[in-house]
Amino acid sequence: MPDAISKSAAPAAQTIYLDNQATTPTDPRVLQDVINMLQTRSVGNPHSEHFVGRRAAAAVEVARAQIADLIGARPEEIFFTSGATEANNIAIRGIGRHDQGRNHVLTVATEHKCVLESALSLRDQGFDVEILPVGEDGLLDLDQLSSSIRDRTALVSVMAANNEIGVLQPIADVAAICRERDIVFHTDAAQAAGKIPLDVRSTGIDLMSLSGHKLYAPIGIGALFISDDSPIRPEGQLRGGGQEGGIRSGTLPAHLAVAMGTAAAICRESMQVDATHASSLRQRFLEIVQSRIPYARVNAESAPRLPGNLSLTIPGVDADHLVGALQPHVAVSTNAACSSGVLQPSHVLQAIGLRNDLAESTIRLGFGRFNTLQEVETAAVLISDVAAQIGENRGASAA
């Protein structure tokens, strides 16, 4: 551990968790509902016909309605999955399974890996998959999107909020372009749902992927919104008992569905408070870091973004070394957790034009509901001091 640890503000007794884009802690109110559902006398298969099965099924339907309320949907348009990755696969690969005379898909270079990989897999079925670039601000060029659409375009997939740099894409405008051409529009809203207002009905979204563990529910549950007005409905990927309207066969984990429903209801109620809180923590963190490391820079700084996201480049500091040196005091990441173990620069940072050396000097922080001002200030001083020491050591080694 670098000497800077002992010279900076005293670390908290527990790890300061600042990686809320990777996953959020389970809200205690959500956890209590999970515990209640798992108690011996409450457990029931929601697909069973007896009393406890019907009781579990009723709880799932309440959760379905709560998730629908969060995004302005109808309950019957919400289909539970194991998470956003599965939802994205169903949405993209499921549309690809239709013989509709259209075989062109458009998506964006900064999408989550599961969207890009799902789209690219359609090439095996004869699809032409086109990946559009973004600017330095991380934003899609709407004119380029519009001019890229063809008569045989089946699907456009553009994420609502980026999981690394937090940039908000103009999904209402994208939806309008698609609706004019009768093209299915899918958005991965795993990072956006519960953090910014979303209304699928007024926006005109056909498919939307959601993730429970990004909005203070446990890992292992997600949902796919499929509009009743979608020009094409995706086909299910899992065969079995035909649960979830045939979109996703398999026994539903009622306790996780209930958890996601409760989390969605809490997010709907506290969204503005959470956003203000996260934004203020982000601003305070930046003030401290930039006062101590003036050359630290925010990626895609000019773009609209999630309130609690921060992609920060500290030139000359190896991000992997920094993250390791901070353990176990502060939890931040170098890129998306879905890409952990991948020894190459982030595709998102490359897409916004960041040089490899700068991409390798970038950390991602996510400020959330349960972070406090005191721990954020402590983390800011600690990260600044450790980064400065790493930078000095690196310079000395190079000399």
Task: Judge whether 91 and 224 are in contact, CB under 8 Å.
Answer: yes
How many C-beta neighbours within 10 Å does residue 6 have?
10
Q: Which amino acid is at 40?
A: T
CA atoms 101, 103, 106, 111: torsion sign: positive
Q: 178 catalytic, yes or no?
A: no
Residue of 16, 23, 26, 25 whose CA lies nearest to 331? 16
Q: CA-based angle 20:22:28, to the nearest 5?
A: 50
CA atoms 57, 218, 366, 135: torsion sign: negative
Residues 6 or more apart from 37 whose CB is under 8 A from it?
43, 56, 59, 254, 255, 258
Q: How far apart are CA 373 and CA 336, in angstroms?
A: 25
Q: How far apart are CA 213 and CA 329, in angstroms?
A: 23
Task: Judge whether 265 and 66 are in contact, CB under 8 Å.
Answer: yes
| Residue 98, Ramachandran bin (φ over 0: left; ψ between -120 and 50: alpha; else beta) | beta
| Half-sphere exposure of residue 377: CA atoms within 13 angstroms, side-chain side | 4
Element (H, E) at 71: helix 51-71
**Residues 60, 62, 66, 69, Cα dihedral to 10°:** 120
Q: Active site residue: 114, 178, 267, 338, which one?
A: 338
What DSSP assignment string belongs to 117-146?
HHHHHGGGGT-EEEEE-B-TTS-B-HHHHH
Q: N- to C-terminal Cα distance for the chain?
A: 22
Q: How far apart are CA 4 and CA 310, in angstroms?
A: 23
**Annotated catalytic sites, by residue?**
338
